[in-house]
Structure formats: structure tokens, C-alpha cells
Structure 1
């Protein structure tokens, strides 16, 4: 349930509604807006309770309307915010009708490698540079990233090229370190339900890029976003990156493109698709990237590497310079046909 206050309702009216709820054992969720306030009720209520509360609250001074919501998430729902959220990072817009491409290698391996990757990204027309400084790997013996040195490399290359950066943060105590160097904090699929991490990322004030867990239903995905939003951080970007496949013989994951129109219907947050992790095979990335644009995604995250055969991680899904450039050209043509604007 969401209580929408009248335009310009004073603080004492808002607090009166909140106190009324607290007196009934319900902790209100205050949702301040630009011109009016809303109050969410996160508790599960019976039909009778909802009916009684709706009648009582609707008659209170300063209340505009009481809206029932059938979803466990509140802040992420279109019932709370009908307008699409637009996340702005420097001069880059994510969402709101603009299609954005994030490109770069899985891991930051060296200054030379990352500079070369940035050149591929920028020269092709993409606007956000991805790279991993801390890498959550299945094997403890695999390359784990360059840690803070990798973040420093990303910051320097970003300063040189003007590209916005995105990199993964793996734990709550690492948020301040990564936020010091990077523009957008990525929460990886393995960390989607690391709730302390989600809270700290939300408190950082940085835009948060949240990847769907490989076994996560849509409701759990949006509830993870709710953790970030509940910290007063509206800049959340969702990413579909593939779910557990029935058969791993041919692809790394099953890219759930049906999730794109579903998410666009139920949430106001921007939706990005990662066809690199979604397939795990470089030759499948381009067709799935174009399909994601047609499905209504707000952008893509694509891995590219100057020499994928020598990549220290995920080389099999990284596009070469020529293939990434070709894909960007194809996306621009497709965007024109669909009436989309490329960032």
C-alpha cells in the first residue's frame, strides 16, 4: 500500500499519517519526492486490514489518495513512479529513451591493455568503459584482478578519455574504495542478495548497476533493487545477464530477453542487457545484442578486448576490435529504424 500526500502537504500532516501507522504496529516507509511525499507500507496486510486502513488514511488531512500495490517491492514499482527513471552520470544518460553501450574487458590486466580497450570503446562510439579490478572467480587459482591498482588504472584512463567508468564491488566494506575511483558501482550476479553490500552501495550515493542473479525470479531481483532505493539512492540500473541454462553444452547461460519487456512494464528503472555473460560465446553476442535492443532494453554491456585469446578472464566471450566496431555500426542502424537515440 502507498499513501500519496497532497501537493505541498506540510511535515506535520506527513508525520500524523506516519504516527497513525506506528500506533498500529506498522513501520512506515517515508518516500520524499520533488513536489510531494508518499508513504509506503512494506508490511503484509490482510484484505480486511488493507480495507480498514485505506478508509481511515484516505480521510486524514493532507492525504491525496491511497493506492494498493500487489507487489512486495514498492520504490521500484511503476505504482510508485509512473515515469521512467533516468540516471545521469556526467554527460551520459541511461534510460529515458536513450540507448547506451558499456564496453570493455572483463578484467583490468595492465595500463597498456586497458588503454587499448578504452580506445576500442571510445572510437566505436560507446560511452561507458567497463573493467574488473576485483574479480569473483569460481576457482581460487584464477586471476583475481589487480585490486586498487586496477581501480587507479581505470581512473587514469577515464581522465584521459572522458569515458564514464563502471566496475564491480564485492563487499560492503569495499564500497568506499571503489567509489573513490569509479563512476558506477556494479553489483555482480553472485552478490545480488548480499544485502549488507546493497545497503552500503545505496548509501554511497553513486549510481548502482545491479545484475540479476542466475536463479533469481523477477520479484527477488526487484526486491534487491529495493534495498538500494530504500537508502535514498534513486540511481539504480538493472541488468539482465542470463539465468541458469537447462543445457550448458552450447551457451554459458540462457539470456532471458523476455525479462526486458516484463521489467519495463513493472518497474521504472532502466534495464540493460549483458549478452556477453548471457551467452558466453563471442559469436552469439551480436545477434543477442540486437535482439535486446528490439526487446526494449535501455542499453547493453558488452565485453571487448584487444586480444581475446590472451585475456586473463572470459576471453571466449569478448569481441575483437573489428567485431565490436561492426556491432556498434549495426546497432546505430537498428536504433534509427526503431526510433531510438544512441547515447
Structure 2
């Protein structure tokens, strides 16, 4: 149920609605809009009778919400959610942002040189894994705390915002101290303890789609975060497992327009993991922007063949620079632009 308040509703009117929701044992969630406030209800076991709310002072209407994902649904909030990150605005339909960097932070020289290169080519944010959940326990697991400090140094030197992954609740707070955006990876999309803990933070979260997750399951995972009060969630399509074996995953471009229709949250794409083949990544970057993605997260490494992880899907500096020119051309054809820090 969504309680829509009148534009002239007072703070007392809103609190009266909140009190009535709590009295019934449910939870109210204020959703500010451009001209009026709406209040979402969660915790109700079934349908909510609208009439008791429609008669309260300041209420314009009480509207049933048909989707099981409530707070992230466009039914509840028709306007796009934007995320303010310093002077950057993420989620704007007009402006595309690009995150670029290595799969893993490997050394000071590697991360600083990459940060400078991707900034020069037009990225506004730097990615790099400090804590790496890997399929095999014998693969490189990241530099952990030292990796976080190197990311902080790269941000200080270049001005790029930083995104890195928290692999569990034990590493979440350490990551939150350094990262501008916390990534919750595909393997953790349904780690409900981690989602709930991320919901207690007031810091942007990038939630990646699980390897075999449906669009609905991705939205329900986002609901865990938003229901705890953190509305700064970015959804990321990063490829799913299908019967196809010629690529690492199948980048589900269908998901981008579907998600844009179903949710007000920003929707990004990860072509690197989505296809897992370096030569195909540029085409998928262009295609994701054409499909309406709000941003891209791409793996870039100074020497991909020597990368400690995901070198086979990482672009080198010249490849990234070339495709960024192409991405800007695709965005311009659709009346959009690609943000730059300068």
C-alpha cells in the first residue's frame, strides 16, 4: 500500500499516518517527491484496506501496490532516484557515468597508473577489489586492508571516486570507511545478513545481479537494503549463466529496459563480467548505453595478460580510451552525454 499525501499536508498529518501504520504493527517508509510525500507500508501480511487511511487528514489517496518489491517499485516512486556523490549525480537519464579499473588492486604502481589513465579517458570513478571472493581458495584473494589504502591514495591523487567490494559483514565497515560506493557482488546478492547490514549504512550500494538470479530476485534483494532505510542503491546487470559456453556469461541486455520500467533505482551494466571476453567488451559497452543503462563498470588493467585476476576480460589503456570515444558517440545519438571529472 502507498499512502499519497496532499501537497499541503503538514508534518503533523504525515506523522499521524505513520502512527496509524505503526499501531497496526507495520512499518512506514517516507518517500519524498518533487511536490508531495508518499508513505510506503511494509510488514503487512496481506492486502491493506485503504479506507482507514483515505479518511485521515492530509491524505490524497491510498493506492495498492501490486509488486512484491514495494519500496523499489515505480508504483511507489515514479520519479528516478538519483544519488549525489560529491559533485557527481548518478542515475540521471541524461548523463552516463563510467567506472573503470582493475579487477584486483595489485600494487601502488598498478592502481595509480590505472587511475590516471582511466580518468584521462573519461571515467569518473575507479574500481578495484581489495577483498576478493574467488571461486578457488588458491586464487589471489586481494590485498585486503592494504588494498583499501591504495584505493584511498589513488582517489587523493586523481579525484576519482572509489568503488570496491565488501565480501561479507566482517569486511563491510572497513570497506565503508574508504569506499564512496560499496559493491555487493553477484555471489552475495542473496546474502541477506550483508544486505541488511548495508541497509543500515547511509552510503551508496551497487548491487550486482546473481549468476542465476531473475530480475524479480534482484529487485527483492534491493528491497532488503531499502527497507532498512538506505535508498542509495544502484542495480547492476553483470551477466547470467546460460547454456552458452563461448562466453563467460550472457549479458542480459533485456534486463536494462525491464529494470528501468519496474524500478526507480539507477541501472548499470558490467560488460566485462557480462561477456568475459576482452574483444567483445567494447561492443557490449556500446550496446548497454543504447539499451538505456545509467552507467558502466569496466575492467581496465595496464597489462591484462599479467593481471592477477580477470585479465582475459580486461581492456588495456588504449582499448579503453578508444571505446570511450565510441560510448560518447552512442550516448550523443540518444541525446545523452558521458560525464567527466574535468
TM-score (norm 1): 0.93
User: Does residue 1 of structure 2 align to residue 5 of structure 1?
Assistant: no
Q: Secondary structure at the match of 1:166?
A: strand
* Counterpart in the other structure of 1:339: 335
* Gap change, CA 1:320 and 1:254, over 3 Å in 2: same
* Counterpart in the other structure of 2:152: 155
- Residues 1-343 of structure 1: pairs in structure 2 closer than 5 A: 1-7=1-7, 9-10=9-10, 12-21=12-21, 24=24, 26-33=25-32, 36-46=37-47, 50=48, 53-96=49-92, 97-248=94-245, 250-343=246-339
Q: CA–CA distance in 1 between the matches of 2:226 and 2:130?
A: 25
* Gap change, CA 1:8 and 1:171, over 3 Å in 2: farther
Aligned residues: 336
Say if 1:2 and 1:41, in contact at 8 Å, map to a contact too. no
Q: CA–CA distance in 1 between the matches of 2:82 and 2:40?
A: 22
* Gap change, CA 1:64 and 1:285, over 3 Å in 2: same
Per-residue Cα deviation, 1:224-261 (whole angstroms, up to 9, x for no partner) = 1112212222211110001112122x111111000000
Per-residue Cα deviation, 1:177-206 (whole angstroms, up to 9, x for no partner) = 111111110000011111121122222211
Q: CA deviation at 1:223?
A: 1.4
Q: CA–CA distance in 1 between the matches of 2:268 and 2:20?
A: 40
Q: CA–CA distance in 1 between the matches of 2:122 and 2:131?
A: 26
Per-residue Cα deviation, 1:133-174 (whole angstroms, up to 9, x for no partner) = 000000000000000000000000110000011000011232
Q: Secondary structure at the match of 1:57?
A: helix
Question: Which segment drifts farther, 279-288 or 191-200?
Answer: 191-200
Q: CA–CA distance in 2 between the matches of 1:33 and 1:161?
A: 35
Say if 1:31 and 1:40, in contact at 8 Å, map to a contact too. no
| Runs of 5+ unmatched residues, structure 2 | none
Q: CA–CA distance in 2 between the matches of 1:321 and 1:71?
A: 43
Q: Secondary structure at the match of 1:186?
A: strand
Instruction: Provide the aligned C-alpha RMSD in A.
Output: 1.7
Question: Which segment drifts farther, 103-112 or 232-241?
Answer: 232-241
Q: Secondary structure at the match of 2:268?
A: strand
Q: CA–CA distance in 2 between the matches of 1:15 and 1:338?
A: 43
Q: CA deviation at 1:30?
A: 2.8
Q: CA–CA distance in 1 between the matches of 2:201 and 2:218?
A: 20
Q: CA–CA distance in 2 between the matches of 1:218 and 1:315?
A: 28
Q: Secondary structure at the match of 1:216?
A: coil
Q: CA deviation at 1:15?
A: 4.7
Say if 2:30 and 2:37, in contact at 8 Å, map to a contact too. no
Per-residue Cα deviation, 1:266-293 (whole angstroms, up to 9, x for no partner) = 1111111001000110011011111101
Say if 1:188 and 1:211, in contact at 8 Å, map to a contact too. yes
| Runs of 5+ unmatched residues, structure 1 | none
* Gap change, CA 1:269 and 1:32, over 3 Å in 2: closer
